[in-house]
Structure 1
Amino acid sequence: MKLPNSTYTARAWALADIAPDFRVEDVWMLPAGGSPDEFPELVRQIAAGEGAFEGERFAVLIYVARQKLGAWFGWDRPEHGLGTRAISLRERLPQDAGYERGPDQRGAPWTSVYCTDREWVTEYASRTVHALMLVGWVPEGGVHRGEMTVLVRPNGVLGRLYMAGIRPFRRLVVNPAFFRMVERNWDKSRADRRPGVQ
């Protein structure tokens, strides 16, 4: 479920102080909830990407089309990525904060920045945009639930046009497919961990 962008600023995320120059693209409630100590399991599942886009033909088609466009126009060349055109957000982390790096996402171009007991941040950079994904664990009604925020810093006019062009595909196809994967994996792992389940 999509949440108002103001949801991000209402939370006391460490990321807000680390990346004030990134704008919120969107905020979503994730189909995963549980106890305070289950957040590492959610991070592990998303990073592993098990069953990613399983049965999601349209999402796969969009992903392949994006890869081809990136190759044709040179958007994803190494000189446009992290450490070259874009400085990794890890360079901004307070030296004395002791942030753990966290896992990278398998099969995806996202690199982990840091992971705490309630927020995990990954980043991606290309010729078009430097993007961040925050997965958080939010207390609500006696339980905790997952929340995902995407923040971006477009690279000039090209970046703004790119974000405007992909926005409907992200919101209508790619994100819902991602959320279905999260829900499948979360429900399965909770059932496997439930006492008495074989």
Structure 2
Amino acid sequence: MSAHHERPWVIHGVASDFEVEDVWAIESSDPRADFASLVDAFVDDDFPDRAPAVVGLLWQARWVIGRLLRWDRPDEGIGERVSSLRERLPDDLRQAPPGRSLPDVPFTPVYETSEEWALEIANRTVHGVLHLGWVPDPAGGGRGQMAVLVRPNGLLGRGYLAAIKPLRYLIVYPALLRGLERRWQAGLAARP
């Protein structure tokens, strides 16, 4: 978790009341790797369609359970139960376009800079942030870093996060990040 807090990112001031739930490094051995190409690979993910079958099944199960238990009602989302984090942005970022969206994934872009990209989601269980950042290295390259920040909604939210933690760590994030790293490498290799 300290790897996330070491960078002078905007997200620290915007989501200071959120807990850092997960932090993952996204590596590239290509010296042409940069943040823009990483975000391109993330956006072009086609998640959950190209995800491993077990990840796609877990993703679909989450949304079926959410419908049955009414976790994802519009009145539980951003602009209803919680305010968008865009309202907390510094003026220059609040006036800028929010950044790229993820197709077919219910996250809303908050902001995008040359070193950060943040998206948010809110439902009855949590208000969550997916944060992608760039960590430069002294040699001029760098790596990506994905963090998930959450503000649980009461006991339901804490219980939900505890219940899905093993699935996130053992199945979902490893598969998601392996696929992302492959697409990132392939995109870099296709550059002239």
Same fold? TM cut 0.5: yes
Distance 1:51 1:155, change over 3 A: closer
> Contact 2:37 / 2:188 at 8 angstroms: preserved in 1?
no
Deviation, 1:41, is: 2.0
Deviation, 1:55, is: 5.7
How many pairs align? 190
> Contact 1:24 / 1:149 at 8 angstroms: preserved in 2?
yes
Distance 1:85 1:33 in 2: 42
> Contact 2:99 / 2:117 at 8 angstroms: preserved in 1?
yes
Q: 1:67 aligns with which of 63, 66, 80?
A: 63
Structure 2 match to 1:9: 5
Structure 1 match to 2:176: 178
What is the correspondence of 1:1-198 to structure 2 with a 5 Å cutoff? 5-32=1-28, 38-50=34-46, 52=48, 54=50, 56-97=52-93, 99-142=96-139, 143-193=141-191, 195=192
Indicate the RMSD between aligned Cα atoms, in angstroms.
1.9
* 1:126-177 per-position Cα deviation (integer Å, ceiling 9, x unaligned): 1000000110111124111100111000000100000001111111111111
Q: Which 5+ residue runs of structure 2 have no aligned equivalent?
A: none
* 1:60-87 per-position Cα deviation (integer Å, ceiling 9, x unaligned): 1111111111011000111111111111
* 1:110-138 per-position Cα deviation (integer Å, ceiling 9, x unaligned): 11100111011110111000000110111
Deviation, 1:188, is: 1.0
> Contact 1:137 / 1:147 at 8 angstroms: preserved in 2?
yes
Distance 1:52 1:188, change over 3 A: farther
TM normalised by structure 2 equals 0.91
Distance 1:150 1:84 in 2: 22
Q: Percent identity?
A: 42
Deviation, 1:100, is: 3.9
Q: Give secondary structure in 2 for the equivalent of 1:7.
A: helix
Amino acid at match of 1:16: H
Distance 1:36 1:113 in 2: 27
Amino acid at match of 2:67: A
Distance 2:173 2:26 in 1: 10
